[in-house]
Amino acid sequence: MPTTKRLSLLIVLAAITPLQAQPPASSSAQQMTQAARALLAVLDEAELKATLFALDADERSNWSNVPYASHHRPGLQLGSLDREATLRVHELLRASLSSQGYQKAAGVIRLDDINRAQQVARLRPDATAFQKEQAEGFGSRNYFVLIFGDPRKDARWGWLLQGHHLAMSFTVADGKTAFLPMFVGATPLAVAEDVETGWSALAQEVTRGVELVTTLTESQREVAISPAEVPGDVLNGVGNKDRFTPAEGLRAADMTAEQKRLLRALVEEYVRNADFDAADEQLAAIDAAGWDKLAFTWRGPIGDLAEPFYYRVQGPRISIELRNTEDHVHTVTRDPANDYGEAWLGLTYRETITAAERSAAARRAAE
């Protein structure tokens, strides 16, 4: 081989070999860890104290979706942060979610600012102090970040973002990632005025359930559609970790191939909110448990979406619920076997709900 060609080949091999020796692209666990460290690096001592908790702290499972007036949340308040820290919170959120998941989370927070403006505008001159606090308690400033364990030194840690209509819990355990429970809600479901008219943060959650239920035959509907009343809220929300509702309705094993495809699309609409490897891990767990063990149930009318309705998909490794009331949607996604990464961490978390939260839930159920 001529000398020139040999030199050219050596140059090419030298360029390729280091690339082949490099480790695989960062997983979401690595991304989350790096982003969490970057956030902690810009916080002062008081902010660090507000942010960091033990991995087994009760605060990890004491999340809530009620307004701030009914649940004064611990943690690092977004409204108190400077520009640099706020940017790094968003970087941590993007590192933990897919692009669709991040846009949903950011959209829900933005909708809460719209909701706050509407609530404040509706206040009467004789409004009570609590009514004023409740109206002012909505909005992006009243979302909180909590970190459990220390990502600067621990291989096992977690973090939580919570506020009205959003509670996202993430776990890193020896290179693996979990992202459940995850509560996402919205009001208004779609903006009806100003330059954002028509915009929706949760564009497909309702659609995915409607697509599936409308394909059911009459005999399938007799099994899937429950005569029970539409619940006042999702049933497997906060405080219900130890008493998951039993699976009911139409089993996936009794669905057609097309209906199974729609069922998978519904499940992936929620699971794919997480970054790809965390989502793949959860879908693999559902695969291992068996997709045919999933069950789909619906409560409420089908044809009139202005009326309240509810659906649930449940199996050994996934629970998905949506409760819709005209322009107000709540959803929650959970893993009955590994919420908070418990199966990986060897820990047991207990969910609690305060009297004020129960009262708020009762008021919502009565509306």
Q: Closest Cα partner for 187 from 238, 119, 123, 266? A: 119
| pLDDT at position 356 | 60
- The answer to whether the Cα torsion of 304, 305, 306, 311 is positive or negative is positive
Of the ranges 21-25, 183-187, 242-246, 254-258, which one carries the lowest mean pLDDT score? 21-25
| pLDDT at position 72 | 83
pLDDT tens for each residue of 287-340: 999 999 999 999 999 988 889 999 999 999 999 999 998 789 999 999 999 999
What proportion of the chain, given as a percentage, has pLDDT over 90?
69
Spatial CB neighbours of 247, under 8 Å, sequence gap ≥ 6: 293, 294, 295, 314, 315
Structure tokens at 160: 């939580």
CA distance 104 to 298: 24
CA distance 156 to 29: 10
Cβ neighbours, 10 Å, residue 113: 13
| pLDDT at position 214 | 97
pLDDT mean over 261-277: 97
CA distance 114 to 204: 20
| pLDDT at position 195 | 60
Beta strands at 182-186 and 328-334: parallel, antiparallel or unpaired:
antiparallel
Residue 44 has pLDDT above 70, yes or no: yes
What DSSP state is assigned to residue 252? G
pLDDT mean over 40-50: 98
Alpha helices in the chain (DSSP H): 3-21, 28-41, 45-51, 83-96, 99-121, 129-136, 205-213, 218-224, 257-271, 276-289, 342-345, 355-366
CA distance 352 to 344: 22
pLDDT category at 24 given cuts 50, 70, 90 is very low
Beta strands at 309-315 and 250-251: parallel, antiparallel or unpaired:
unpaired
Task: Report yes or no: 286 and 215 within 8 Å, Cβ to Cβ.
Answer: no
Which of the pair, 226 or 64, is modelled with greater confidence?
226
Residue 114 has pLDDT above 60, yes or no: yes
Q: Residue written as tokens 């906060």?
A: 238
pLDDT tens for each residue of 157-192: 999 999 999 999 999 999 999 999 999 999 888 887
| pLDDT at position 303 | 80
pLDDT category at 7 given cuts 50, 70, 90 is very low
Task: Report yes or no: 349 and 282 within 8 Å, Cβ to Cβ.
Answer: no
Q: What is the value of pTM for the model shown?
A: 0.88
Q: Residue written as tokens 């903006």?
A: 191
pLDDT mean over 88-116: 95
291, with CB counted inside 10 A (0-12, 13-18, 19+), is middle
What proportion of the chain, given as a percentage, has pLDDT over 70?
89
Residue 131 has pLDDT above 80, yes or no: yes
Which of the pair, 162 or 26, is modelled with greater confidence?
162
What DSSP state is assigned to residue 195? G
| pLDDT at position 305 | 80
Which of the pair, 113 or 71, is modelled with greater confidence?
113
| pLDDT at position 358 | 60
End-to-end CA gap in the chain: 84
Instruction: Report the DSSP beta bridge partners of residue 54.
Output: none
What rounded mean pLDDT belongs to the chain? 88
